[in-house]
Structure 1
Amino acid sequence: MNAPHIDYTTHSAQAFQHLLALSNGLHKGPLGHKLVELVSLRVSQLNGCVFCLDMHCTALRKAGMDQRKLDTLAAWRESPLFDERERAALGWAEALNAIGSAQVPEETFAAVQANFNEREISELAFTVAMIRSWNILNVGLHVPLPMAAAAA
């Protein structure tokens, strides 16, 4: 992509800092860093955000996630590498990411309720809202893939 990008970190510095604070808070919350990163990576796959894909893959590898698990994330329903909690979180994230074109299926909500308490479900919803915001900014404003590897 050769389109010029808009540096939202400069032009909207205060809004950027608020979104960054939300992101940092979610990573330190009850879901844990790895699950927030995993959900963020999956939503970024769905939304085609190359900047976020690079950043979240790097962060998950640094956090010790097996490369094979990362390689099969797009097909998590068929992969035996994801536990029930991860599956519930990924299903919930995909359903929330699709709001606007589809409703959240009752069975998806039931699965997330079976694996997470109300605070954690709320945190998952905020995680999806947060990463969608980053995806919209990065894809919409043409933020390029950094030539150097992302820092986690």
Structure 2
Amino acid sequence: MDQRLDLTIVAPEGYKAMLGVHAYVQNSGISLGLLELVKMRVSQLNGCAFCIAMHVPLARKHGVTEDQLHLLAAWREAPIYSPKERAALDWAEALTHLCKGDVADDVYDEMRRHFTQKEVADLSFAVAEINAWNRLMICTRTPPQLGGSAA
């Protein structure tokens, strides 16, 4: 599959705006390991090979274990994720699957048990950001860079 277009060339200002959101999320104070888990899970749900290939080495760099990476697709059944990680992953899935309707109160309530309102907002920006990147990489058919070179 050939790449359709390069956003950095055809829409550099749009790409720059996305990098601004990325910078905000990365500097929000949320654990970078947790952010990588969220980005990986959303990318799995959306089927974005480019983003999965990019975030695996970043996840490792920020302390996500091999077991967490391997079991992420089945995180609900895997006992290795903390309650805080589970709340964030559930939130990420709920925001990614908005076509199912509103985000359930119990999902939000669990987030609030583990995160401040600001952290909930910042995690929401993180989910919105990775969903946008997934859609951009998929529609442009940007191929994954394998071997960790995308990081």
Deviation, structure 1 residue 132: 0.5
Q: For the residues of structure 1 that align with 2:101 and 2:56, how far apart are their CA atoms?
A: 28
Aligned equivalent of 1:25? 24
Give the conservation status (yes or no) of the 8 Å contact 2:53–2:148: yes
Q: For the residues of structure 2 that align with 1:150 and 1:101, how far apart are their CA atoms?
A: 36
Aligned equivalent of 1:103? 102
Give the conservation status (yes or no) of the 8 Å contact 1:52–1:135: yes
Aligned equivalent of 2:82? 83
Q: For the residues of structure 1 that align with 2:43 and 2:142, how far apart are their CA atoms?
A: 14
Give the conservation status (yes or no) of the 8 Å contact 2:37–2:64: no
> Any idea what the Cα deviations from partners look like across 1:78-129, whole Å, max 9, x if unmatched?
1111001100000001000011233211211111111111000000111111
The residue correspondences of 1:33-72 to structure 2 (distance < 5 A) are 33-72=32-71
Give the conservation status (yes or no) of the 8 Å contact 2:40–2:56: yes
Give the conservation status (yes or no) of the 8 Å contact 2:2–2:141: yes
In the TM superposition, structure 1's runs of 4+ consecutive aligned residues that sit over 4 Å from their partners are none
> Alignment RMSD, CA only?
1.3
Q: Which amino acid aligns with 1:96?
A: L
Deviation, structure 1 residue 46: 0.2
The residue correspondences of 1:133-152 to structure 2 (distance < 5 A) are 133-152=132-151
Over the matched positions of the two proteins, sequence identity in percent amounts to: 36
Aligned equivalent of 2:15? 16
Return the TM-score normalized by structure 2: 0.94
* Residue ranges of structure 1 left out of the alignment (5+ in a row): none
Return the TM-score normalized by structure 1: 0.93
